[in-house]
Amino acid sequence: MSVDKRSWADRVADPKGARAWTLGDVLEGIPAGEEEQKKFFEEVELLAAQCGTQLVGKHPGMQGAVLADLLARWLEGHEPLMRERLLLNHIDMVHQLLE
């Protein structure tokens, strides 16, 4: 088995290494149909729960640092001109989840 030696952000941006994600790619990632959206968000909840189990019991500072690192890696995988808008949208989403 070969090991992919590209950075995490490069692998997330495009598994084949061709390009960074565009805004269209991001928007297309969320399905339009009601049933597809239900499945999408069920998977989001599952993945969030799996990640959460790795953070349970860790110091809050460490939890925050891990989440910040993941967010930075996610943003790094997008075109530079999109990053600020994506970050602001992400912050808005977090605020909505806290309401």
Residue-level pLDDT, tens digit, the chain, 99 residues: 344 444 444 444 444 454 555 555 555 666 677 788 788 888 888 998 999 999 999 999 999 999 999 999 989 988 888 899 889 888 888 888 788
Range of the domain at 84: 8-98
Residue bearing tokens 């001109």: 81
Give residue 40's Cα distance to chain centre: 13
**Per-residue confidence (pLDDT) for residue 60, from 0 to 100:** 94
Tokens matching residue 95:
């605020």
**Per-residue confidence (pLDDT) for residue 59, from 0 to 100:** 95
> Cα dist. 18→12, 15, 42, 89 in Å?
11, 8, 29, 25
In a domain, 1, yes or no: no
**Per-residue confidence (pLDDT) for residue 7, from 0 to 100:** 47
In a domain, 3, yes or no: no
**Per-residue confidence (pLDDT) for residue 27, from 0 to 100:** 59
Domain count, the chain: 1
In a domain, 2, yes or no: no
